[in-house]
Amino acid sequence: MVFDCYRPAHAVADMGSWTREGGPPDPQWYPTIERGDLIAKGYVGELSSHSRGSTVDLAIADAAGKSTVHPACGAPDGGALDFGTGFDCFDPASETAHRPLGAEAAANRKMLLASMRAAGFRNYAREWWHFTLAEEPFPRRRFDFPVTAN
């Protein structure tokens, strides 16, 4: 299941501006970090690989469609396997190699990492869900075309 893929450069700039406005931790998205520290701690990028069209945020869906409640934080999983946190949880618990982690969540992270590596992607170690093509076609370019739905 794909949560996020291409993101226009202007949307990344908006996220950077929002982060620099500062604010207290948010219990759902970044429970232990001040908003103004999200860039410095590596949770929000001032320049995002999503704007290069080579990065995807994803998880593996539960075949039975059951939903997992994540005690840490993040977005509702929409039927993903248990990965220990929800998607977009800006917290050390979301680091791919974070320990301690429940056995099922650790196994699911390991399976996702192995699957994506086999497909030619590398993981961003701070976010178990974030993968970028190892051999990006546009490694130094940012795109800013709009995305519209038909």
Hey, which residues are catalytic here? 127
Question: Where in 44-133 does DSSP place strands (E)?
Answer: 55-58, 121-123, 130-133
The span from the first CA to the last CA of the chain, in angstroms, equals 21
Say how many CA atoms lie within 13 Å of 28 toward its Cβ. Answer: 5
Q: Which residues, in sequence order, are bridge partners of residue 26?
A: 30
* Cβ pair 95, 125 in contact under 8 A: yes
